A and B are shown apart, each in its own frame.
Chain A
Amino acid sequence: MNENRREILEMLAEGKITAIEADRLLSALDERPAAVATVEGPALARGASPRYLRVLVDAVDDEDGPVKVNVRVPLQLLRAGVKLASLIPPSAQDEVNDALRSRGVPFDLSQIKPENLHELIDNLSDLTVDIDQEKEAVKVQVFCE
């Protein structure tokens, strides 16, 4: 649930707005185009292919005060990375696979193929990770846009 939706529901719960008004506001939120959406939450329209992976970290430190980190990485870099991985010679891939396996990561580099990447990126459009820690006041959001 994004911030705007939560605010509308809170206003409804507090009796500041009527159910009809809340419905109208929620409908307006749903109709809002992705381009207008801010970094407060996933800004991807349905059916649109995600272009960026965004990581937002919002932390409040007792001594240093609020700290915000905002990182945007093009998903194209993921595609390029897969191509780069395909350049690794098979003998080197075996060494990397063995090293990963010895550290408890059973991963096969040879299985990373560009044709499988489209499916992965399509599925990333639905990815939203929210980590909200009340005690340490750290909020992490990971989403595609």
Chain B
Amino acid sequence: MIPVVAIVRFRVRRRSGSTFWLWLPVPLVVIWLLLLPFAIVLLPVFVIACLSARLRPLRTLAVLWAVMSALTGTEIALEHREASFRFRLI
């Protein structure tokens, strides 16, 4: 399954001593749905490009889908005393 949600968490400690928190879940599934019409329109172009490069279009699509699916579970976190950042794909 391709990632459906990206969670971004951000924390910055201000000079005044207060802390700014940002927790932002990005619904990727909505973005995929919005991009779907463009993908369908661009599909013939993709097929022609694959054939011109001597690649099998269906196999190429399957591999690209596999790469997208494999991204699920990726997590990157950075922590510092004044700021922290965390990015997670679910």
Give the residues in chain B near A89, CB-CB below 8 Å: 53-55
Per DSSP, chain B at the interface is mixed
Q: How long is the Cα–Cα vector from A86 to B56 in the complex, in angstroms?
A: 12
Chain B residue contacts of A69, Cβ below 8 A:
77-79
Q: A66-B81, A67-B80 are in contact. Are A87 and B55 (CB under 8 A)?
A: yes
Beta-carbon contact of A71 and B75 below 8 Å: yes
Which residue of B is nearest A69, CB measured?
Answer: B78
Task: Please tell me if the beta carbons of B74 and A72 are within 8 angstroms of each other in the complex.
Answer: yes
> Is A115 an interface residue, CB under 8 A from the partner?
no
Given contacts A87-B55, A87-B59, A89-B53, is CB(A74)–CB(B79) below 8 Å? no
- Tell me, in angstroms, the Cα distance from A84 to B62 when the chains sit together: 10
B77 pairs with A74, CB closer than 8 A? no
- A residues sitting closer than 8 Å to B (CB atoms) are 51-52, 64-74, 76-77, 79-81, 83-84, 86-87, 89
Query: Using a CB–CB distance below 8 Å, which chain B residues touch chain A?
Result: 53-55, 59-60, 63-64, 66-67, 69-81
